[in-house]
Amino acid sequence: MSNNMSQAQRAQQSNRTDDGKYTTKAHSEADVSLGDGFQEVIEVDDGDSHDITPPSDAFDRVVIANSDGYVVEGTIYENFDHCLPADIDRMREAYGDDQITEYLNDRSDVIMGAINERYKNVQLDPGPDDTFALEFYAQLDGPVTEEDAAHTLWEESDGVQFANEIDPGTFGSEDFSSTIRDKLAEHDATKLPNPETIDEQAKQRFVDDFVSTAVQDAKMTAEEEYFMETEEEASDFEVDDESLNKLKTMAGEFYVANAGDLEAWRKDVSERKEYMNDGVGGHDAYMEAAGLGVGYRDRVPGNELEPSIMAKRLSGSASEEISGLENGIYREGKTIHFEGI
């Protein structure tokens, strides 16, 4: 996708009113009449269609179709790449057109779900790879003239309403692009469903990674504090058993609550070893929850879209669902206790 305007949006500029809304196309008499005002009734064989002149530049193509009954169908081509969530839109140049196209295509059900909630009689048809072909339709009583079919499409379908509302520059119309943007952001923030069966070995590796990171961090902190107090070095600190058990429990509970995302993360990491760690994930979960400023998002190259979305979701889950680690530790002699967990 090389720009933010659909084919219809580019064509519309010569056919707008002062407030930016689509208008009906002004036909000359030669456009709409045959002979002495006579207009031909269009008959279409069952299963076939007949192209007609669109009633407005809102539509890229209009046909009269017959499939167990006559309908008029108006197609609008839209790429939706002006509907990206803000954090993705800011990075669009880094991600590039191919990743943006794939992102939107993979979320066609999200986009169409929002469209079908607001507009009647619309379906997604195959179109160019970087474009959604939205087909708005209205029923016809039978064979009609082109002008009557075009009038029915204009009056009885939601195509023109959609065309006005998807363009945020149309004065006085709802900005439906913001609805799409919100739906995509909501989808991206939603955890992947958990597998039917939790991988216990993967869970244990995650727990071990989480706990070992916590212990290493606590010991380093204790050694630094001890040196600041005594100007002596010491390395024989140990974390108390109660804290260890609590760390294991919180790590296991986090894994179970996020198994779908963590399984997908591990699979993705295995395909990107040149960029990331081994994909176990426990280290990053601890670092996020402890507020140490590094974590899942630091494992993703800045130009990779889908891994960035997954990393952001895991980062947020760790920060929100694992509590108490930000309180740090306290020492009793050479024993380390995690405070507040």
d(CA 241, CA 224): 22
Residue labelled with tokens 């507020």: 291
Look at residues 207, 216, 219, 338 and name the one whose alpha carbon lies nearest to residue 285: 207
pLDDT at 294: 84
335-338 and 238-239 beta bridge pairing:
parallel
Alpha helices of the chain — where are they, by DSSP H?
7-12, 29-32, 86-89, 92-106, 108-118, 146-156, 159-166, 176-189, 200-230, 241-257, 259-270, 282-289, 305-321
pLDDT at 171: 64
pLDDT digits (tens, 9 = 90+) for 321-339: 999 998 999 999 999 999 9
Q: Looking at residues 122-143, what average pLDDT do you find?
A: 90
d(CA 134, CA 136): 6
What secondary structure letter does DSSP report for 315?
H
Name the more confident of 169 and 138: 138
61 three-class SS: strand
pLDDT digits (tens, 9 = 90+) for 274-323: 545 566 799 999 999 999 978 899 888 889 999 999 999 999 999 999 99
Q: What is the mean pLDDT of the chain?
A: 87
> What is the helix (H) or strand (E) element at residue 78, kind and residue range?
strand 70-78
pLDDT at 8: 36
Q: Check if the beta carbon of residue 202 is closer than 8 Å to that of residue 263.
A: yes
Q: Which two tokens stand for residue 114?
A: 């929002």
132 three-class SS: strand
The total number of residues written for the chain in this structure: 341
What is the pLDDT confidence band of residue 164, given thresholds at 50, 70 and 90? Answer: very high
CB atoms within 10 A of CB 150: 25
pLDDT at 39: 78
Q: Check if the beta carbon of residue 72 is closer than 8 Å to that of residue 154.
A: no
What is the pLDDT confidence band of residue 125, given thresholds at 50, 70 and 90? Answer: confident
121 CB-near residues (< 8 Å, 6+ apart): 136, 137, 138, 157, 158
What secondary structure letter does DSSP report for 322?
S
What backbone phi and psi angles, to 5 degrees, belong to 182?
A: -65, -40
β-bridge mates for residue 61, sequence order? 75
87 CB-near residues (< 8 Å, 6+ apart): 312
Asked whether residue 33 carries a pLDDT value surpassing 60, the answer given is: no
What is the pLDDT confidence band of residue 56, given thresholds at 50, 70 and 90? Answer: confident
d(CA 67, CA 112): 23
What backbone phi and psi angles, to 5 degrees, belong to 251?
A: -65, -45
Asked whether residue 20 carries a pLDDT value surpassing 60, the answer given is: no
160 CB-near residues (< 8 Å, 6+ apart): 22, 56, 58, 154
Percent of the chain with pLDDT over 90: 74
274 CB-near residues (< 8 Å, 6+ apart): none
What backbone phi and psi angles, to 5 degrees, belong to 89?
A: -60, -35
pLDDT digits (tens, 9 = 90+) for 257-272: 999 999 999 888 766 6
Asked whether residue 236 carries a pLDDT value surpassing 70, the answer given is: yes
316 CB-near residues (< 8 Å, 6+ apart): 189
Q: Looking at residues 111-120, what average pLDDT do you find?
A: 97
